[in-house]
Every structure is written in C-alpha cells, then in structure tokens.
Structure 1
Amino acid sequence: MDKQPGVPYQLYYWPGIQGRGEFVRLALEQAGVPYVDVARRRGARGMPAMLASLDGALEPQPSFAPPVLRAGELLIGQTANILLFLGTRHGLAPRAQQGRLWANQLQLTIADIVNEVHDCHHPLSTNLYYEQQKPAARTRAADFTAQRLPKYLDYFEGVLERNRARGNHAVGGRLSYVDLSLFQLVEGLRYAFPNAMARQQDAWPRLLALRDSVAAQPRIAAYLKSARRLSFNEEGIFRHYPELDR
C-alpha cells in the first residue's frame, strides 16, 4: 500500500457504496482528521491500490476484507476494531478500559444487525444475485422486519434509557463512535425498510433523538452535505427493494 505524506489515515473500502466503510468515515469526519478514501482516487492509486490491500503477499497481517485503515505503520481491519482504535485516539471512546470494552461490545452488536440486514437481500448466498433468490429474500425480510429489527432497536433504546442520567448517549456522557454508528444504522434502516421503520418508530424515541443530534453535529452536518457522503444505493448493505418492505 502506498503512503501519502501529511495524511494520517488511508481508508481502503469499495468505491461507490457506503457499506461498512461508512461507519469508519463517520468517525474520521467527526474526529476532524484528514484521510484519503483510497479507492475513490483516479488511476492506479485508486481501485488497484485498494485491491492490493487485500493481497496477503503484500502485508504480514492481511485483512480478509475491507474496510482496512492505514495509520502510519499500523494496518487495521474489521470495522469494530478500526473504530476502537480511532475512538481511543480521538476522544470518541471512554477513557477507562471498562467503558472501551462496553463501546466495543455495542459496536459488535451493531455489526450483528448489519449482517442480518445484508442477509435480507442475500439469504442463500453472497455469490448469487438478489434476483436469483427473491422468494427466500421475501421470507427472510418479513421475519427481519417483524421480529429481528424491533428486537435489536428495542435493545439499543434500552441502552440509551439506562444511560439517560448522562445524556442521550450510548456510552458515557459524551458523543462516541457508537452514537455515530447508531446514527448510520437508523439512516440505513430508514432507507432499506421505510415502511417497517415508520410503523414502529414510536417505540424508539431516544434512538431517533440520538440520530437527530448526531446529524446536527457541525462536522457531521457538513459531511452529510458534501460529495464525500455517498448516497445509499442497491449495491451496498442497506438496499431498498419495495417487495421486501411490506
């Protein structure tokens, strides 16, 4: 992987989609640190460099899949792992070990629901197109929106409720990367399953209020209006297929 002087971070993720890389982008944006979204660059320093990041021959500790973050000599894979690193370094995670572990636990739970969202449109195999598994996808999505989605969001609502004395944050008394990730989760679910979310949203007032407060953060608000924020689309994890949102 190439390095760019003066830029502390290089993010390796697929161009054109938010996906799991967006959770990392939000933390970088809120931290206010420069970074390069490598695959979005032109020429050989773009997508070819991103693909090279997946070549195990190039690195002693290769990652299985993006996102991957280059931080100096460090090469960090897995979304939750990257966020734990960035949160600790840039004040987006608790200072105490117990709090950092709790934040990581919540982030891993967010990863669980993100995986289940993905499996709504790819329930049989990631090697098949959505169009090749529509009947199974309808069955999976119906169960997800009726059972799994509220189970997860009820849990996160409870996390916020239990922490209410310290403000409307998931962890501690200040904004953390978990809050940023919950924002992205709500945004993604609203895009993918607008009907299901609208029917049930009254059950999650703290979670939706958190979404609004994160969106109002000056750096996040600027990011959301910028070209750096990619739009949701039907190539990423959060996809809107009307037949899956009855």
Structure 2
Amino acid sequence: MQYELYYWPGIQGRGEFIRLALEEAGADYVDACRRAESSGMGMSAMMRLMESPELAQLPFAPPFLKAGEQIIAQTANILFFLGPRLGLAPDDEAGRLWVHQLQLTIADLVTEAHDTHHPIGSGLYYEDQKPEALRRAQDFTQMRLPKFLGYFESVIERNPAGADWLAGADITYADLSMFQVIEGLRYAFPRNMKRLEPEYPLLVALHERVAARKRIKAYLTSKRRQAFNNDGIFRAYKELDR
C-alpha cells in the first residue's frame, strides 16, 4: 500500500513524527502537500479532502494519512494505526497500548513546547505575546521540561525487556518520536538542553541510537528532511532560552 501523508509544506511540525516512522520502516509513502499541484496533490488536494462533503469522518486539521479508503487524523492516532503495520509496535495489545500511552505523553510535551512561544493564543503572532512567552518559557525549561525528561528517562530504566528503548526489546514509533523531541528541543533551547542533557544519559543515548539507524541516517541527510524553522512547533528565540 502507498500511504499519502497530508501536512503543511515548509515545516516539520507534527507531520515529522509520522515521516520518521514511515522512513524507518522503508514504507512506500507520498508527502502529498510537497508534490506539484499538476500531480493532483499539493495543498489543493489536502483542502479538498478536508472539505469533502462525501467524508463522514472529516479530519479537523493536518496531519492526516490516507491509507487506501481510510483517512486517519491526529499524530498519535496515525502512529497507533501504522505501528503494527510497519513493525514499530509490540505484537500484544498491552504493549501496543503502552506505546500509545507514551506517544500521548510525548504529545503533551510537544504542546507545552509549542506554547512557550504562543502562550495566549495560536491565532496571535509571537510578537503580540512576548512578555507572556518569556514567563511561560522559563516555567517550561526550569520546571516542566525536567519532569518530562525525568519521566522518560525512568521509562527506559524500568523497561522490563532490559533494552535501551522506551518499550520492549525493539525500537517503536515512540522511540522515533522521542528522537524528534530531543532534536526540536536542541533547536529551540540549546542553552537549556546543554544544561539538562547530562542528567538524562539514557535519553541522549536513545537519540544517538536512532540517529545512527541506516534509514533514519539517510533520511536526515536527504532533501526529504526539512530544516527546523520559526514557523513550526519548535522555534529558536534566544530570549526564551535563558
């Protein structure tokens, strides 16, 4: 099956968590909104699907995945669907739910990282909420981020399989997502991450292990991997990285 991923072009955003899973598995997929309009894809194809009167289960917003006749939205939900199909989730139900739970917690972390630069409203520009953003970023880097990182560090420590992954003996989509989180945090808060990372050696090692995987390494150096920028979830404002 060829999967079609629909997400805003020009940013990694929440779509990147799905791309990493597809790339790691060597799946046949199309990053639809980055294709030319003449191909029948592009942004117009995404908007047609989102506004289609024929769809009973409309996605609220990208990312969403077209898999045959199915359209699945929400990052964690998409990964829950893809995980068993791509070999990136445990075989048993309890294991699959555990990985899904970890992914939902990662989603909470990602939302809090986003809200450091948009603490009042996503419809406002960063410049319209800079004092509030500074206060939010300080709370995030000093209080919330260590709690999240400490939690995921302990998850690796307690992995009953004795492996250096978040869940079970093999890599899952949650590990790929944690890699992306650390990449994003290093971009947005390099000073704070330099301070914090020595406290979480297992997470740092997980990041390096994912980065070294053959398909991920090839993806990271390809044109398919878009660069971080200040239009995405993780944004680099020096004044927030104190």
TM-score of the superposition, structure 2-length normalised?
A: 0.97
Answer yes or no: is 1:19 the counterpart of 2:13. yes
Q: Structure 2 regions of 5+ residues with no counterpart?
A: none
Answer yes or no: is 1:33 the counterpart of 2:37. no
Find the aligned partners of 1:9 and 1:166 in 2 and give their Cα distance.
34
Aligned-residue sequence identity (percent) comes to 59
Query: Aligned match of 2:202 in 199, 206, 219?
Result: 206
What is residue 112 of structure 1 aligned with on the other side?
108
Report matched runs for 1:46-65 at 5 Å: 46-55=42-51, 57-65=53-61
Query: Aligned match of 2:218 in 194, 216, 222?
Result: 222
On the 8 A contact 2:27/2:86 being kept in 1, the answer is: no
Instruction: Give the 3 Å change call, closer, same or farther, for CA 97–165 of structure 1 in structure 2.
Output: closer
On the 8 A contact 1:52/1:58 being kept in 2, the answer is: no
What is residue 236 of structure 1 aligned with on the other side?
232
Report matched runs for 1:52-201 at 5 Å: 52-55=48-51, 57-163=53-159, 165-201=161-197
Q: Structure 1 regions of 5+ residues with no counterpart?
A: 1-6
Residues 48-74 of structure 1 deviation map (CA, whole Å, 9 limit, x = unaligned): 112223215241100111110001011
Find the aligned partners of 1:50 and 1:40 in 2 and give their Cα distance.
11
Find the aligned partners of 1:194 and 1:227 in 2 and give their Cα distance.
24
User: Which consecutive aligned stretches of 4+ in structure 1 deviate over 3 angstroms post-superposition?
Assistant: none
Q: How many residues align?
A: 240
Letter aligned with residue 181 of structure 2: L
What's the Cα RMSD here? 1.1
TM-score of the superposition, structure 1-length normalised?
A: 0.95
What is residue 3 of structure 1 aligned with on the other side?
none
How big is the shift at 1:166? Answer: 2.6
